[in-house]
A and B are shown apart, each in its own frame.
Chain A
C-alpha cells in the first residue's frame, strides 16, 4: 500500500490542478452536450419518424451516444505526456523521480479522469438523459458488469496511447500519428456510428482490432445484448489487448530509453 502512496499523490495533484481552469471546463461540458444533441437530431432525421430500423431502436442509438460520449469525456488520456517531455527535455527531471514512468502517466491521467467523471460525465449525462432519454440497464448485475467492462475499456484506450507515445523516442513530432490513432478510435469504436450499422465484413474486421472493446463492449453489456459467455469473451478480449499493448509499450520504452537524447543542455 505504501508503494502506491507516491502515485496517489500524483492522482491528487492532477485532480486538484484541473480546478484552476474553470471556464475551459464549462465549455467542455457544453461541448459534450452539444455533440450528443447534434448526433441525436441527425439520427432522428435518418430514422424519419420510425422507432426502429433493422431491429435497432432509436433509444438504443441514443443510449449508444450518451454512454460512449459520456465515457469519452471520462476516459482521459494525455497523448502528449511523454512526447512533450521528450521534446522540451523535462524528461530528465521526470526520470529522477523514484517512480515508474507508466505508473506516473497512469496516475496523472486517472486524476484527470476522476475529475471528469464527477464534474463532466455526471452533469453532461444528466442533461442528456433528461432531454433525450436513455434505455435503462438490462438489470442490476448488467450495470455492475458494464462498469467493470468500462474500466477495462479505459485500460485498452490508455494502453493504445501508451504504446503510441513511445514512438516519440524515434520521432520528435508524433502529432500525425496521434491524429490518425484518434480517427481510428472515433470511427471504429462505434462512438460516432454505432457498430450495428456497419456492414458485416467491416464488423468482422473490427472484431480483430482493440477499438470495439473500448466503448462498444460495455455498451452491449449495458443493453443486455450479450449472453453470459459472450460477456466473458468480451472481458477476455479486453484483457488480451491490455496485456499486448502494454507489453509493446514497455518494450519500446526499454528500447527508447537507450536512444534518449535530452534536449537542451
Chain B
C-alpha cells in the first residue's frame, strides 16, 4: 500500500453550452443545454512517502481537478483515492489537517490583514503548538527572504511576495504531504529560483511528500526526479524525467561542419538538412537511434569527407513535452 494511492479515478463536469447572442440566450432560457466534460479520465498512480513528483500537462488536462480530489475538495465520480490511510473527500476535516496545499491562483491569506495576522489565524485554526509555530515561522521567513514584508497587508504585496507568503501559510502546521498547484505562476526568475530551492530543501530535509504541477519545465527539472504527464484527463507518462528521453527522445541530431563546400550522397534512414546554402559546409543529420548507430554514420562520413567540427545533441525535455502535448509522438 503506497502513501498516496489513486485508483482508476474519473471526474466529469457539466458545462453549460449556449450559442452566442440574444437568440442563444433565449434558446438557453427555454431549453438549457449542457455538455459533459470529462476532466479526469480513469487515472491511476501511486506515490511513496518522501517522493517529490512533478505533475504536468497542457491547460485543461485535469491537473488541478486531480489535485483537488487528492486534497479532499472534490469527490471523484468513480474510482478511489487514499492518502496516508485517509479517504480525502470522505474524511475531509480530519485529513486536511495533515496536508498543505498551495494554489498559485487562489490565496489563502486574508486580503486586508498583514501577512503575520493571517499566519496567526492559521496557527489557531490548525492548533499549532507555540514552539513549533515559532520555529517554522522563523525558518521559513529566513529561507524565503520574507522579513521585509511580513507586516504588510496582503493586498499591497507583489505577486511573488504573495506567493511566498502563501507557501508559508500552507506549511505552518508541518504537513507531511504538500500539493503545489502552479506555485511559480507569474513569479520572476529570481523568485522562481528561491521557491524551487525552498521546495527542494523541504523535501530533502523534512522528507515531505510532494506533488507539484507547473507549466515551467525548469521547475520540474530542478526539483523532481519523477514525472507524471497527463493530457485530456488521461495519464500519458509516469516515470523518471531521464526516462522521457529514452521513451520519446529517440531522434538524434548531429550538426557537421565540413572543411569545404560539398554535397553529401543520401544515406539510408538519415535525413539531411542544409544549415547554410544548399551545397554549403554546414549540414544537419537527423536519424532514429534504433535505425542508425552514430558510429556507423560517422565512419561513413569520415571515409568520404573532411570534417572540421561536429556536435551531437540530445533532444531537450521541453521540446519533447511539447511534442507529447501536440500528439506528435506515439504514446
Contact = CB atoms under 8 A, between A and B. Distances in A.
Contacts of B103: 92-93
Contacts of A97: 96, 125
A258 B75 CA distance: 5
B125 A2 contact: no
A13 to B, nearest CB: 6
A1 to B, nearest CB: 11
A53 interface: no
A254 to B, nearest CB: 10
A262 B73 contact: yes
B136 interface: no
B291 interface: no
Contact of A9 (B71, B101, B125): B125
A8 B107 CA distance: 22
Contacts of A9: 121, 124-125
A260 interface: yes
Contacts of A260: 73-75
B320 to A, nearest CB: 26
Contacts of B124: 5-6, 8-9
A257 B88 CA distance: 13
A98 B125 contact: yes
A92 B73 contact: yes
B126 interface: yes
Given A20-B112, A96-B108, A262 B127 contact: no
B235 interface: no
B121 A100 contact: no
B: contact size bracket: 20 to 34
A100 B125 CA distance: 11
A17 interface: yes
A90 B106 CA distance: 7
Interface centre among A91, A96, A257, A258 (most CB of B within 10 A): A96
A82 B106 CA distance: 17
Contacts of B315: none
B309 interface: no
Contacts of B64: 262, 265
Contact of B72 (A2, A95, A265): A95
A93 B125 contact: no
Given A6-B124, A265-B105, A98 B112 contact: no
Contact of A100 (B14, B72, B93, B97): B93
A264 interface: yes
Contacts of A99: 93, 125
Contact of A98 (B13, B75, B107, B126): B126
Nearest to A93: B108
A110 to B, nearest CB: 16
Interface in B7-21: 13-14
B74 A262 contact: yes
B142 interface: no
B268 interface: no
A135 to B, nearest CB: 43
B282 interface: no
B131 interface: no
Contacts of A96: 71-73, 96, 101, 108
B304 interface: no
Contacts of A171: none
A241 B92 CA distance: 28
A89 B97 contact: no
Contacts of A17: 112
A122 to B, nearest CB: 26
A77 B72 CA distance: 27
Interface string A68-103: 000000000000000000000111110111111000
Interface string A89-130: 111110111111000000000000000000000000000000
B130 interface: no
Contact of B97 (A90, A92, A98): A98
B226 interface: no
A258 B13 CA distance: 11
B283 interface: no
A5 B74 contact: no
Contacts of A95: 72-73, 92, 96
B100 to A, nearest CB: 9
B127 A5 contact: yes
A98 B121 CA distance: 13
A257 B64 CA distance: 17
B68 interface: yes
8 contacts: A5-B127, A6-B126, A9-B124, A17-B112, A95-B96, A98-B97, A257-B89, A262-B68
Interface of A: 2, 5-6, 8-10, 13, 17, 20, 89-93, 95-100, 257-258, 260-262, 264-265
- Of all A-B residue pairs in the complex, the 10 with the closest CB atoms, nearest first, are A9-B124, A98-B97, A6-B125, A258-B75, A95-B73, A93-B108, A98-B96, A265-B105, A92-B73, A96-B101
Given A6-B125, A95-B72, A265-B105, 16 more contacts: A5-B124, A5-B127, A8-B124, A9-B121, A9-B125, A17-B112, A20-B112, A90-B106, A93-B108, A96-B101, A96-B108, A100-B93, A257-B89, A260-B73, A262-B68, A262-B74
